[in-house]
Amino acid sequence: MGTLPANFKWGTATSAYQIEGAVSEDGRTDSVWDTFCRVPGAIDNGEVGDPACDHYHRMPQDVALMREIGLDVYRFSLAWPRIQPGGSGPGNDRGLDFYDRLVDELLAAGIDPWPTLFHWDLPQELEDAGGWPNRDTAYRFADYAELAYRRLGDRVTTWTTLNEPSVVTTHGYLSGVHAPGRKSLADAAAAAHHQLLGHGLAGARMRELAAQAGNPFELAITLNLGPATPETDAAEDHEAVRRADGFNNRLYMDPLWHKRYPADVVEDLAAQGVTIPVQDGDLEIIGAPIDALGINFYFGMQLSGRAEDGSILDADGAPVSRHVLQGRPQTAMDWEIMPDEFAKLLSRVGREYPGVPLYVTENGAAFADKPDEKGYVHDVDRAGYIADHIAAVAVARKEGADLRGYFAWSLFDNFEWAYGYDKRFGIVRVDFDTQQRTLKHSAHWYSETIRRVRGR
């Protein structure tokens, strides 16, 4: 699998809404996902994120499992509506207490806590006030970050602001397949900008508090970057790739690195009557230095700029971007498996956006697991997927990308958003009837790999 250094950081990742359950306990209020789950037909089988993995009540035993696997890092997210019910006002001590205990439990187990402030569970009240398309949400986010930082900042040394803002933009506000289920390009563009602004404001606020307290920390953001390749050398296929790369990748990377939005994306949006609502000073705030970039990767797409009938414009007059399968093996999400594209993507980030350490903060696969009578899953497919992607990390490092860690998605089978519980990404199986946890073959394999690379 290539060469990785002994100090490479190994972890797993989860998110609050996908594992915690206890959605109405200890003062937590609804997030947009609680609301979305009540929309008939929004989630497969009408499932909801409660009790999910019941992690809220089983946290100590879950941390013990992480210790058994031998993780260096546990990446999790904080639930905004648990810490600041309703999305404004004072912190909720009972919600904060949970994360306080989690951080202590992790540190006692020798595991580095990596909280993410926002992994999609926006307080419903903020969505009612306009959600991420409303500029005020960015300021509310900084206030919430302060509450979290004040409680945990003495022990947490890496803070991630956002997880995958592009998914919130495209799935939450453009296609509407995720909460809050809106469908508007103008809202999507505003949501993208205000998430980035929230990132910048929250980072600045936490840096200020850290300086006062003498507690330095590393600031990170996690983006899911998807490589796109043209189906043929035709100009329209290259154009489809440019648009996808622009809207999904460069729309986030360029303001963070270069304090500007990519001119071609701004033009694409203008052609559809949409402007990114940037105000004076925003890009300075967004482009303030970060200490780490988290990259989430699952698949890339081969694109054609022509519809099957050969036309280059769709019914609304917009340019066609058609996903064309390459005939590669697929996961249970129907995502084609392409570790070679992952290596290229990581090398590209290292080359085009240098100067910041990189971490793979999510990578993994759902497969149709077949547990035996004891709940054990011999998932050689998942272990193979992870092995091939770790090998891609080693390739990219060789080509100069400053990759320092790999976190498998996910520690547990969990609530996979609009797919409910059917798509299992865990290296640990969760029996959702009994909440029994069972390490899969992939967890044992991961554990052995970590110990081998670490040299102990």
Catalytic residues: 164, 362
Least Cα distance to 192 among 99, 255, 263 occurs for: 255
| CA distances to 80, 128, 136, 156, 292 from 123, in Å | 7, 9, 13, 23, 27
Least spacing, CB of residue 445 vs ligand IFM, in Å: 20
Interface with ligand IFM includes 362 (CB under 6 A)? Answer: yes
CB-nearer residue toward ligand IFM: 21 or 153: 21
Helix 136-152 × helix 185-213 angle, to 10°: 30
Interface of this chain with ligand IFM, residues 72 to 131, rule: CB under 6 A: none
CB-nearer residue toward ligand IFM: 266 or 428: 428
| CA distances to 94, 170, 180, 185 from 32, in Å | 21, 15, 6, 19
Q: How far is CA 371 from the centre of its chain?
A: 27
- Show Cβ contacts of residue 172 under 8 Å, excluding neighbours closer than 6 positions: 32, 120, 132, 178, 179, 180, 181, 182, 191
CB-nearer residue toward ligand IFM: 282 or 416: 416
Position of tokens 């290539």?
2
Interface with ligand IFM includes 409 (CB under 6 A)? Answer: yes
Least spacing, CB of residue 425 vs ligand IFM, in Å: 6
| Tokens encoding 235 | 């100009």
Interface with ligand IFM includes 331 (CB under 6 A)? Answer: no
| Tokens encoding 306 | 């022509």
Question: Per the omega criterion (within 30 degrees of 0), is the bond before 447 cis?
Answer: no
Spatial contact of 386 and 393, defined as CB atoms under 8 Å apart: no
Least spacing, CB of residue 119 vs ligand IFM, in Å: 6
Least spacing, CB of residue 58 vs ligand IFM, in Å: 19
CB-nearer residue toward ligand IFM: 18 or 249: 18
Spatial contact of 307 and 322, defined as CB atoms under 8 Å apart: yes
Least spacing, CB of residue 355 vs ligand IFM, in Å: 25
Least spacing, CB of residue 430 vs ligand IFM, in Å: 14
Total site size for ligand IFM, rule CB under 6 A: 8
Interface with ligand IFM includes 296 (CB under 6 A)? Answer: yes
Interface with ligand IFM includes 137 (CB under 6 A)? Answer: no
| CA distances to 245, 247, 277, 297, 314 from 273, in Å | 20, 15, 12, 31, 17
Given 72, 105, 127, 164, the residue binding ligand IFM (CB under 6 A): 164
User: How many residues belong to the chain?
Assistant: 456
CA angle 115–456–380, rounded 5-degree value: 70
Given 16, 282, 416, 430, the residue binding ligand IFM (CB under 6 A): 416
Interface with ligand IFM includes 347 (CB under 6 A)? Answer: no
CB-nearer residue toward ligand IFM: 164 or 379: 164
Q: What is the rounded distance in angstroms from the CA atom of residue 234 to the CA atom of residue 95?
A: 54
Interface of this chain with ligand IFM, residues 11 to 30, rule: CB under 6 A: 15, 18
Helix (H, G, I), strand (E, B) or coil at 220: strand
Least spacing, CB of residue 424 vs ligand IFM, in Å: 11
Interface with ligand IFM includes 413 (CB under 6 A)? Answer: no
Spatial contact of 213 and 153, defined as CB atoms under 8 Å apart: yes
* Residues near ligand IFM, by CB under 6 A: 15, 18, 164, 296, 362, 409, 416, 425
